[in-house]
A and B are shown apart, each in its own frame.
Chain A
């Protein structure tokens, strides 16, 4: 079995976790195995149906009030216990902040290697081959892992969702967190930005660079984002380092690597570090005054012009598309 981790946020399974399960199902079928999922938390059984709908044949429930709040150590221990019991051939996580925190802890506990932030998984001689960007996308590395289970995190927004039969079996697993462990504990989630999407998870990223000229103008990008479903505002390093917008919005080699369906770059010249972080976007649009800006070399559609004139006109055209 390829086991996948079902990440829950706001009482829902994250889309990135469903993507991971769909990919696990495809590769498992190729290997003659099945795909499963594990849910850890409190009162989470109701979410199993979503996992069956993406191809899980078994959903393992670790339902326990002591596991209601995410704890890296307790969750890694729970997963390690399950892995030892059911011996999956592979375990996939979404490469979200939780997945990137939990998967390495689990891998170390099991004494196995980990493939981080994969963008492609294929089957080679009965084992999995993982492909992932390095240097934020300046080069692409493919690798196999000689340890078992093969643990990997998969990048959000890359693997397609696919509907499946919707039938499967729920299996309850008892697990008690160990007492007396020196552990880190989440005491509060702060600054929740009302369901605002992260750039790594958005379908459309609307980014601004030095050409935005100041922090106040990022409001224009936020207004545009309000018109486009599942979009998020990104930024270049120079905009972030100028203090115009928080670093969590930064796209590029010392920021986040993104692969949205659409990347809109306003006033971004396209430094090499930035291009590395966004060149795997499906469609790239650039608006820049400078016709020689390197961003135009990767853009599918470029507009040479003043973004402060193009942006309002673009917004107006978009509004025309909205149903009355």
Chain B
């Protein structure tokens, strides 16, 4: 089975985010970048499917050349191949633009793809748009926020998380699936994997080669402001006998802020 996993380079979740009010961008200086955590679940799932059913796993990222680092990590974890679609633009927050690039890439280079795996959202833009948009542009079925996936030759069943329950969804292949935490526990790279990954070549495909009209690559999102959230003031802190602190707490909630 030919499986494609789409990964994005994002700031580590431990990071403190700083913004530049002049350029309306996130300050990248001093940030540590990682593969977006949900994408790791997607990659792990792809590797497990290959291990049980055979096939090939290709990791793909769209972005600047810095994304080669996370593609190398995908190879070290066990992906057979990796490809970078080189996009000169920094973060646009426009999911449709990214989806058009990915869908164009799949159509032109890998129309035999059986399964397209994504993380349910990137940690950062938090858009959760690209998997569904790629599915629509390619005319494929989608299942998002998947916590369990069972595949057969030409179809599958996925369990998707919804509020207070799960939907069991049946779908034919090829399909688009986006991964949620809980789907699996991603493996660590092995030393052998890291060494092998270093020797592998990662082809770089310039975005122009995908053949998307220039007007379809112009972002439809215009950022008007990027700012820090309003700082919260620390309130009062109390300590003492539990009966007393509990009484003060209920008084605060019931009489003062009236939320209970």
Contact = CB atoms under 8 A, between A and B. Distances in A.
- Interface residues of B, dominant DSSP: mixed
Contacts of B106: none
Interface stretch (B48-56, B73-81, B162-170, B200-208): B162-170
Interface in B92-125: 93-96, 99, 123-125
Contact of B257 (A117, A272, A283, A314): A283
Interface stretch (A31-39, A54-62, A209-217, A294-302): A294-302
Contacts of A297: 232, 234
A139 B166 contact: no
Given A184-B175, A304-B238, A273 B221 contact: no
A152 B27 CA distance: 27
A113 B37 CA distance: 25
Contacts of B171: 183-185
A229 to B, nearest CB: 9
Contact of B238 (A97, A109, A303, A318): A303
Contacts of B162: 97-98, 189
Interface string A88-100: 0000000011101
Contacts of A112: 96, 220
5 contacts: A98-B162, A113-B219, A132-B126, A141-B225, A142-B223
Contact of A262 (B163, B221, B253): B253
Contacts of A255: 181
B161 interface: yes
A316 B164 CA distance: 28
Size category of the A interface is 35 or more
Contacts of A76: 136
B13 A186 contact: no
Given A116-B127, A305-B239, A187 B226 contact: no
A45 to B, nearest CB: 25
B235 interface: yes
Contact of B253 (A114, A117, A283, A305): A283
A221 interface: no
B61 interface: no
Contacts of A301: 235-238, 249, 252-253
Interface of A: 9, 72-73, 76, 96-98, 100-102, 104-105, 107-109, 111-117, 124, 129, 131-147, 182-193, 195-198, 200-201, 204, 228, 246-248, 250, 253-255, 257, 261-262, 272-273, 279-280, 282-285, 291, 296-306, 309-310, 312-314, 316-318, 320-321
B11 A135 contact: yes
B17 interface: yes
Nearest to B237: A302
Contacts of A142: 223-227
A272 B16 contact: yes
Interface in B125-159: 125-137, 139-145, 157, 159
Contact of A250 (B181, B228, B229, B257): B181
Contact of A201 (B19, B163, B257): B163
A186 B124 contact: no
Interface string B70-91: 0000000000000000000000
Nearest to A73: B141
Nearest to A150: B220
Contact of A183 (B141, B181, B257): B141
B134 to A, nearest CB: 8
A140 B259 contact: no
Contacts of A285: 249, 252-253
Contacts of B199: none
Given A107-B133, A193-B164, A291-B237, A134 B126 contact: yes
